[in-house]
Amino acid sequence: MNEDLTWEVRYEATERESRQKALAKACFYWKKDGQLMRSAEFTQSELEVECERLCETGTDLTQFVLALKQLALSTGQAYNATSSLPVEPGRF
């Protein structure tokens, strides 16, 4: 069986809100043999808690940490400095 984890950062905003004010969330998708098995969305603070929980279980955190880093870059002044960079989904 082939298991696959992918993620992307999405922004939730109303029509009147700019992307800078939009809430960024990391969206994770778990697929097995090409079929979606599970999905989850996390804000930055939620993902920090999830990383702590997964660390205790011995799970490989690589993709979760990369998504957390992307979320951190998408807020505040860090976002302004990198706004020309495309949002790249992670793949595990």
62 within some domain: yes
Domain range holding 52?
3-82
- pLDDT at position 15 is 63
Block residue for tokens 């930055």: 44
Model confidence pLDDT, tens digit, residues 34-83: 999 999 999 999 999 999 999 999 999 999 999 999 999 887 534 433 33
pLDDT at 4 over 60: yes
Q: Which residue has the higher pLDDT, 92 or 31?
A: 31
The number of distinct structural domains making up the chain is: 1
The Cβ of residue 70 has, within 10 Å, a number of other Cβ atoms equal to 21
pLDDT at 5 over 50: yes
Task: Please give the Cα distance from 2 to 32 (Å, whole number).
Answer: 6
Exposed/middle/buried for 47, CB within 10 Å: 0-12, 13-18, 19+?
buried
- pLDDT at position 23 is 86
27 within some domain: yes
Task: Please give the Cα distance from 60 to 37 (Å, whole number).
Answer: 19
89 within some domain: no
Distances (CA, A) of 46 to 34, 36, 60, 87: 27, 22, 18, 20
88 within some domain: no
